[in-house]
Amino acid sequence: MTTWHNKRVLVTGATGLVGSWLVRRLLNEGASVTALILDTDPASELYRSGDISRISVVNGNLADPVAVNRAVLNLENQYIFHLGAQTIVGTALNDPVNTFTSNIQGTWNVMESVRNSKGLVKSIMVASSDKAYGTAKTLPYSEQMPLHGVGPYDVSKSCTDLIAQSYGKTYGLPVVIARCGNIYGGGDLNWSRIVPGTIKSLIAGEVPIIRSNGKFIRDYIYVEDAVDAYMHMAGAVTSAGIPGEAYNFSRDEPISVLDIYRAISDEIAGRYVEPKIMDSAKSEIVDQHLDSSKARKELGWVSNITLTEGLRRTHKWYLDFFNKGN
């Protein structure tokens, strides 16, 4: 697909980090966007940017099939980006039932609406995660590896992924699944995460906190790269006929928590600021990173934004955010 002009698009999770940037990109390319939104969040970039006034809104819960049907069927949306989920590992550990309800039941509700749409929906892109793989004996993760999350959040993403694959392979629904590493960028207000939390502390002149021991290995991908990946996939499922396929997306540059902390510190403070290392992270996979060669070969996708450039853009966003009194 070469253009989104006048395409009717539904985005779940539109108030989240990636959802806000995705909505903006779709609007800029001429799409007619609907968002399924549970709660108003004035701090979300979707609201702060004013993009909320440029889209249609269906208020409802992903766990409610009536609300999902209203968003998919009644508004006759042709393309769906299913990003809606409970996304915090710590929250999932403390509240697994609501995490499972949102992430798993929410996914099958979306899939059932698409199955009942009688061919109306041309493409559905599902946001899974590298967490869906669970702990692996060898890295990087490739798409051929099994999904076997253990912690509540990881299990919820494994199930989301498998449900989407099942509907694609069994019913021929035009589903594609994205497994990204850690997505960062302006608009992430979950301060427990390393990038926004560190930036907030350094801007405020506070001692940054690292929840883990700092040795965990992760992939990091800038939010606009992730949006580009999602839109690549949504177009590919209509042109290449790849229902139920999953793709990894990363820069293929694994880095430790301490090393990305140093990169953030250099960008913002211009020097290394000693953090407080808590070593208290629970129910988290120690080392994770992805092989995204399948996406490069089959979709022609490449990451365009380096870590240095991504952190520069992210820092600029938070400076503006805090300077406006947030």
pLDDT along the chain (326 residues), means of 10: 86 96 97 94 92 96 95 91 92 94 96 93 95 94 96 95 95 95 95 95 94 94 97 80 88 96 90 92 89 93 95 95 80
Indicate whether 89 belongs to any domain: yes
Quick one: angle between helices 152-171 and 106-115, nearest 10? 10
CA distances from 280 to 201, 206, 274 (A): 19, 19, 18
CA distance 159 to 319: 38
pLDDT value of position 51? 96
Indicate whether 120 belongs to any domain: yes
Number of domains the chain is built from: 1
pLDDT value of position 84? 95
70: helix, strand or coil: helix
What b/e readout covers 82-109, taking b as 16+ CB neighbours within 10 angstroms? bbbbbbebebbeeebeebbbbbbbbbbb
Indicate whether 299 belongs to any domain: no
pLDDT value of position 2? 55
pLDDT value of position 326? 65
Indicate whether 55 belongs to any domain: yes
Which sign, positive or negative, has the C-alpha torsion 262, 226, 162, 152? positive
Indicate whether 305 belongs to any domain: no
pLDDT value of position 88? 87
pLDDT value of position 241? 64
Q: Are 188 and 228 contacting, i.e. CB atoms less than 8 angstroms apart?
A: no
| Tokens representing residue 110 in the block | 């979306």
pLDDT value of position 41? 87
Could you list the residue range(s) of the whole structural domain that residue 82 is in? 8-184+222-251
| Tokens representing residue 46 in the block | 């979707």
Q: What is the pTM of this model?
A: 0.95
Q: Of how many residues is the chain composed? A: 326
Indicate whether 67 belongs to any domain: yes
pLDDT value of position 123? 93
- Which residues are tagged catalytic? 153
pLDDT value of position 108? 97
Indicate whether 238 belongs to any domain: yes
pLDDT value of position 3? 85
Indicate whether 72 belongs to any domain: yes
Q: Are 226 and 249 contacting, i.e. CB atoms less than 8 angstroms apart?
A: yes
The closest alpha carbon to 231, from 28, 26, 60, 7, belongs to 26
pLDDT value of position 239? 64
36 φ, ψ to 5°? -90, 115
Computed on alpha carbons and rounded to an integer, the radius of gyration of the chain in Å comes to 19
Q: Are 112 and 65 contacting, i.e. CB atoms less than 8 angstroms apart?
A: yes
Find all residues with CB under 8 Å of 323, minimum gap 6, and list them.
none
pLDDT value of position 282? 81
CATH classification at residue 116: 3.40.50.720
